[in-house]
Chains A and B, each alone.
Chain A
C-alpha cells in the first residue's frame, strides 16, 4: 500500500457551538506523518470535537486553521479531505453486505468492479475476515463489525485515520486483542492516526504521544512515559493512574512529610509536595524505609496487591507490590520509596 499519510496541524482551533457552549478553547496541535496521537480525557472535555474538526465535520471558530501536510484544508468539506473514520457505534451500512461496506469508498470513487473486489478481498484477509464478504452486517459480532469498519476506512487509503473510542463498545478481552491489531496495523501501514479514548491503558499502549485534555484545553502532550512520570499539572497527575501526593516542608532538598521524609529530585528543590506512583513504594519492616505508618486496607488484585498505608489521621499512601507476602491490616510498617520515582509538579 502506498503511503499517502500526511501530517496534521491545528492552528488556534477553538469551537463554540450555536447554543453558546464553548467546547474547545483555541488549541494548537501538531501530528507528524505516520504518528499516532491519542486524545485522552474525561467525558465532555472536547476530544470528539477536536476529532471532528480534523475530519471536517465541524468548522473551527474564526481564526482556526486545519492543515494536512502543507495543504490548508480548513474550507474543505469532509468528503474532499480523504480521511478514514471509525466510530464507537461501528456505523456500518445495514443495507449493504460486508463486502459492500468495505468497497463503498472505492465505489463512490468509480473504481471498476474487478479492481474493487480484489481490494476488498485483500482487506478482508488483512482484517482476519476472509470468507465473510457476503454476510450481512447483523450477522457479525461486535469485534468483527469494528474490523469491517476499519477495513472500510482503510480501503480509501486515507491521509489520516480518525478513531473515536472504537473499542469502548467491546468487552475487555476483545478490546485487548483488537487494540493489539490496531496498533500493528497503524505501524505497518505508517498511518497518521488520531485516536480518542478515555481509557488510559489503551492510550498508553497505542499512542506515540498522548494529549491529555481537560475542559476544552490540552493539559499536556507528550510520550506515554512523559505523561506518566512527568505530569505537568495536578489534573494530569490525578487523571493518569494512581498518584500519591504528600504535602510537606522542604529543607535542603528533603521534604518533611507525614510519617517521615522524602528526598526531592534535583529539579524539584523547594517544592511543597512530593509525588510517587504506587509501584515505586515498597512495604518494609517498621522503623525502616522513608515513611512509617499502619496498614489500613489490603486489596488483592491478582497480578498485584494494593496496600493502603495510613501515615497519620489525614495522609495515607497507596503501595502496589507483586510480592507474595501476606499483609495484615493494622500492622505497623515502613514504606521505602524508590528515589527515582519521586517527582514534583513543574512550576
Chain B
C-alpha cells in the first residue's frame, strides 16, 4: 500500500513539475504583478470602477455571449440537417467545413475585411445598389462575424457527432404518440443534444473571450479585453493593470466553463 503510493507519487512527479512551472508560478507572479502597480491591490477593482475598463469587459462578454448563442442556433440546425440528410456533395461539404479550423485569427480578420471592409464584397454590392457602401468590418459587428465564422465549424462537427448518437427509437416513440416534427425537436432532439450544445457552447464562449488575432487585424481600437490588455502592456507599459485585467479575463472565462460543466453534469446524470 505504502510502496504503491510512493510509486504513484513518482509517476505523477513530471505532471506536478510541469503544472508548477507553467501554471502555478506564472499565475502567482501574475497575481503579484497585478498588485504591484501604483494602485496596489486596487488595480483589480479598477476593472469594475474604471468606466473604460468596465466597458471593455462588458463588450467582451456581450460579443462572446452573442457569438455563442448565434453559433449554437446556426450549428444545431445545420448539424442536424447535415447528419440526417444524404445529398450529393455532402461529404465534400462536411470536409470543407473543417477547413477554417486551421486558420489563425489574423486570417479570419483578413477574410472579414475582404467581406465587409472598405473594398469588401458587401461594400461593393451595397454601393452599386443603394449608392453608398455598407462597411462594418472594423467594428464589433465585424468581430462578431469573424468569431461566428470561426466558431460555427467546430460546433457543427460536435453537433453532428451527437446527432449520430441519438437513439432513433426515441423520436419514433414520440411520433407514434402524436408529436409533430417540431414537438419531437423540442421534447426529444434538443434535450438529447443538450450536453453537446452546452459543452461546445462553453468552448465557443471561452475562445471568443480570449481571441486576439481577429480583433487586432480588424482594428487596433476595438474595445475588447484582450486588446485592452495588449494596449496597456505595450503602449503604456502598465504591467500591473495588464496583469490584473488578464486575471479577471481568466477568472470570468473559467467561471463560465465551470458553470457549463455543472449544467452538463446534471443533464448527463439525468440521461444515464
At the interface, yes or no: B174 with Cβ under 8 Å from chain A? yes
Contacts of A292 in B (CB 8 A): none
Contacts of B270 in A (CB 8 A): 94-95, 136, 138
**B169, B178, B188, B191: the one within 8 Å of A82 (CB):** B178
Q: Do A79 and B191 have beta carbons less than 8 Å apart? A: no
Query: A79-B180, A95-B271 known; A87 and B173 CB under 8 Å?
Result: yes
Alpha-carbon gap, A153 to B173, bound state (A): 9
Q: Mark interface residues in B178-222 (1 if CB within 8 Å of A CB, else 0).
A: 111001000110011010000000000000000000000000000
User: Quick one: closest B residue to A104, CB to CB?
Assistant: B177
At the interface, yes or no: B127 with Cβ under 8 Å from chain A? no
Main secondary structure of the interface of B (DSSP, over half): helix
Alpha-carbon gap, A80 to B173, bound state (A): 13
User: Quick one: closest A residue to B188, CB to CB?
Assistant: A93
Query: A93-B188, A138-B272 known; A104 and B176 CB under 8 Å?
Result: no
**B167, B183, B191: the one within 8 Å of A95 (CB):** B191
Query: A82-B178, A94-B270, A136-B270 known; A104 and B172 CB under 8 Å?
Result: no
Q: Do A91 and B172 have beta carbons less than 8 Å apart? A: yes
Number of interface residues, chain A, beta carbon within 8 A? 30
Q: Do B179 and A55 have beta carbons less than 8 Å apart? A: no
Contacts of B272 in A (CB 8 A): 94, 138
Q: Do B170 and A156 have beta carbons less than 8 Å apart? A: no
Contacts of B174 in A (CB 8 A): 93, 104
Contacts of B177 in A (CB 8 A): 104-105, 108, 152-153, 155-156
**A95, A109, A138: the one within 8 Å of B178 (CB):** A109
Question: Distance (Å) between the CB of A322 and the closest chain B CB?
Answer: 42
Q: Do B271 and A87 have beta carbons less than 8 Å apart? A: no
8 A Cβ contacts from A134-156 to B: 136, 138, 149, 152-153, 155-156
Alpha-carbon gap, A87 to B174, bound state (A): 12
> Max chain B CB contacts within 10 Å: which of A57, A78, A136?
A78
8 A Cβ contacts from B251-272 to A: 267, 270-272
What are 30 A-B residue pairs whose CB atoms fall within 8 Å in the complex?
A55-B176, A79-B175, A79-B178, A79-B179, A79-B180, A82-B178, A83-B176, A87-B172, A87-B173, A89-B167, A89-B169, A91-B169, A91-B173, A93-B173, A93-B174, A93-B187, A93-B191, A94-B191, A94-B192, A94-B270, A95-B187, A95-B270, A104-B179, A105-B177, A108-B177, A109-B178, A138-B272, A152-B173, A152-B177, A156-B178
Shortest beta-carbon contacts, A-B, top 10: A105-B177, A91-B169, A95-B191, A85-B176, A91-B173, A94-B271, A87-B169, A79-B175, A108-B179, A78-B175
Q: A93-B187, A108-B178, A108-B180 are in contact. List 19 more A-B contacts (CB 8 A).
A: A57-B175, A79-B175, A79-B176, A85-B172, A85-B173, A87-B172, A87-B173, A89-B167, A91-B167, A91-B169, A93-B173, A93-B188, A94-B270, A95-B194, A95-B270, A136-B270, A138-B270, A138-B271, A153-B177
Instruction: List residues of A whose CB falls within 8 A of some B CB.
Output: 55, 57, 77-85, 87, 89, 91-96, 104-105, 108-109, 136, 138, 149, 152-153, 155-156
